[in-house]
């Protein structure tokens, strides 16, 4: 039985990751900032532990990490999944909007990795960062999000070198996944996106969760510093 920490685990991809590990019999703690009802329901469903945390805030992460370590004395894996969507042209984007994307996706992963690395290092743990296809290709009207995810990929590769061989660090880069982040798209927009995907369907949170689960498993023991794309062939 492993001990797994998931940031941003109350809904969407994060909730699917929590379920995937819990269904396999592992102990899971997940953080959330909003979505209290969703977090409570997920705990009741899976037996996971919820820990409130704003990953953008150093003190909030420190408190949450202390709480997690009081429950799990030796976490086996950290999944940095917390994120938020943001759309808009660079020309009209505020500095606050820009900084918030970097804080949620990059700073949050940095703070949580820094907090748990000492215990992960002690027994060959692993980190998986949830990036995005847009961190690899860029997306118009999502420059801040794309830049933040590209930075997260850079952090993944640098930390993999820094922590090897003690800790494996990898990332997944989901494509178009059916979560609340697609609510801003019209049905026609979604059809157009699906038409660009060779496997002819949008991805599911469970598709991403399966990839995350693999990267934390012994089957991936010789994999570090890699970005596993989960996009149905949208980017090859």
C-alpha–C-alpha distance, residues 236 and 217, integer Å: 25
Tell me the torsion sign for CA atoms 223, 224, 229, 235: negative
List CB contacts of 164: < 8 A, sequence separation 6 or more.
Answer: 224, 225
Nearest to 83, CA basis, from 148, 153, 136, 22:
148
List CB contacts of 1: < 8 A, sequence separation 6 or more.
Answer: 25, 26, 27
C-alpha–C-alpha distance, residues 212 and 215, integer Å: 5
Q: Find out whether 10 and 50 touch, Cβ atoms under 8 Å.
A: yes
**145 included as an active-site residue:** yes
Name the CA radius of gyration of the chain, rounded: 17
Question: Could you say which of 141, 145, 185, 213 is catalytic?
Answer: 145
Q: Which residues pair with 32 in a beta bridge?
A: 52
Kindly list the catalytic residues: 145
């Amino acid at each position: 039985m492993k001990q797994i920490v998931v940031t941003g685990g109350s809904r969407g991809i994060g909730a699917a990751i929590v379920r995937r590990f819990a269904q396999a019999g592992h102990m899971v703690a997940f953080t959330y900032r909003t979505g209290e009802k969703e977090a409570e329901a997920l705990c009741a469903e899976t037996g996971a532990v919820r820990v409130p945390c704003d990953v953008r805030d150093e003190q909030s992460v420190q408190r949450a990490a202390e709480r997690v370590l009081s429950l799990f004395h030796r976490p086996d894996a950290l999944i940095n999944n917390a994120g938020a969507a943001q759309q808009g042209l660079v020309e009209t984007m505020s500095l606050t909007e820009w900084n918030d994307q970097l804080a949620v996706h990059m700073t949050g992963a940095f703070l949580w990795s820094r907090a748990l690395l000492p215990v992960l290092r002690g027994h060959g743990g692993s980190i998986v960062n949830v990036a995005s296809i847009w961190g690899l290709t860029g997306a118009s009207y999502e420059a801040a999000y794309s830049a933040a995810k590209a930075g997260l990929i850079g952090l993944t590769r640098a930390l993999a070198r820094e922590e090897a061989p003690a800790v494996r660090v990898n990332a997944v880069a989901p494509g178009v996944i059916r979560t609340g982040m697609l609510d801003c798209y019209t049905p026609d927009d979604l059809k157009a996106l699906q038409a660009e995907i060779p496997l002819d369907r949008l991805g599911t949170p469970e598709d991403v969760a399966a990839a995350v689960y693999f990267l934390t498993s012994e089957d991936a023991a010789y994999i570090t510093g890699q970005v596993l794309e989960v996009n149905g062939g949208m980017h090859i």
